Amino acid sequence: MALYLVSTPIGNLEDITLRALNVLKSVDLIACEDTRHTRRLLDHFGIQKPTVSYHEHNEQARTEELVQRLLEGKSVAIVSDAGTPGISDPAYRIVLAAIERGITIVPIPGAAAVIAGLIASGLPTDSFLFVGFLPSKKMARRARLEELKLERATLVLYEAPHRIRETLADALEVFGDRQASLARELTKLHEQFIRGTLSQLKEHFDATQPRGEMTLVIAGNAKDNLAPIETGFISSQVERLMLGGLNRNDAIKQAAKSRGLSKRDAYQLMLEEKPTYEDDEC
């Protein structure tokens, strides 16, 4: 008898692990957020197992039922619609109930948007805080951002496309213009990273209709976290390349190439952004 917490892909089906497939094939019952959604995943991998729904609306009642099955000696897997169960998805309640009854919990690690979005952000990964979803009501959202304002660790947030403009505007007002990275459609065909300052991300979505699944990563409140990343300040990228041993001319050439710019345009951009960068430094 064991409760398996099985991570499933967040887009690309190849991200499921061999262990996850073996567990799903071997358990007696699979509890999932949306049985139709999970059925498609199981069909894709040729797995035929009984499924039962386990979502935020029936979590409490279902927890008791599933614990009973576990106590009868059955093995149960929990999967969410995407990614790792328990990460902004149901699982916590049943994990707690199972621990209290002495049931073995077996985590099956795998995809989670928080990790994929963080590691590709270009922001410090040594210490991060997973914020999950901010409250949807403006007052509560602002209050939560205020609480996070002094946090030094990199912040990782989940956000829905219809709320990203408000979130970026509020984060910009509360935190100031920090570096950030927005990961869109991770592991999917149209995966995209929008990196820059919060105001640059805001400008991007003022001009582009937000679509798809989004993970927002924001630099923490640490002076060295303000170091610009690739699509941030080109002048700083050039400085870093020079520190790495390139002469100024080659550094500008390389920075221009990494952004798909001509050397002339890169130079112009450096002149335009330099005053802002110096302001940020003091």
Q: Is 10 in the site for ligand SAM (CB under 6 A)?
A: yes
Rounded distance, CA 278 to CA 119, Å?
A: 28
Separation in Å, CA 96 to CA 87, 99, 101:
15, 5, 9
Q: Is 33 in the site for ligand SAM (CB under 6 A)?
A: no
Q: Is 215 in the site for ligand SAM (CB under 6 A)?
A: yes
Name which of 8 and 236 has its Cβ closer to ligand SAM: 8
Q: Which region, judged by CB under 6 A, interacts with ligand SAM, from 15-23, 120-128, 183-191, 222-230?
A: 183-191
Neighbours of 61 (CB within 10 A): 10
Q: Is 214 in the site for ligand SAM (CB under 6 A)?
A: yes
Neighbours of 262 (CB within 10 A): 11
Rounded distance, CA 81 to CA 88, Å?
A: 11
Rounded distance, CA 14 to CA 60, Å?
A: 32
Q: Is 186 in the site for ligand SAM (CB under 6 A)?
A: yes
Q: Which region, judged by CB under 6 A, interacts with ligand SAM, from 80-88, 201-209, 232-240, 248-256?
A: 80-88
Q: Is 114 in the site for ligand SAM (CB under 6 A)?
A: yes
Name which of 83 and 228 has its Cβ closer to ligand SAM: 83
Q: Is 80 in the site for ligand SAM (CB under 6 A)?
A: yes
Both tokens of 280, joined, read: 């940020």
| Position closest to ligand SAM via CB | 83
Q: Is 82 in the site for ligand SAM (CB under 6 A)?
A: yes
Q: Is 158 in the site for ligand SAM (CB under 6 A)?
A: yes
List 3, 83, 218, 236, residue binding ligand SAM (CB under 6 A): 83
Strands 128-133 and 154-159: parallel
Q: Give the burial class of 131: count Cβ atoms within 10 A of its Cβ; 0-12 exposed, 13-18 middle, 19 or more buried.
A: buried
State the nearest-atom distance from the C-beta of 72 to ligand SAM, in Å.
28
Q: Give the burial class of 253: count Cβ atoms within 10 A of its Cβ; 0-12 exposed, 13-18 middle, 19 or more buried.
A: middle
State the nearest-atom distance from the C-beta of 265 to ligand SAM, in Å.
31
Which residue in 97, 102, 38 sits closest to 65, CA to CA?
Answer: 97
Q: Is 187 in the site for ligand SAM (CB under 6 A)?
A: yes
Strands 29-32 and 128-133: unpaired
DSSP state of 163: G
Q: Which region, judged by CB under 6 A, interacts with ligand SAM, from 54-62, 139-147, 213-221, 248-256?
A: 213-221
Q: What is the residue whose two structure tokens read 């080109």?
A: 234
Q: Which residues bind ligand SAM (CB under 6 A)?
A: 10-11, 80, 82-84, 87-89, 112-114, 158-160, 183, 185-188, 213-215
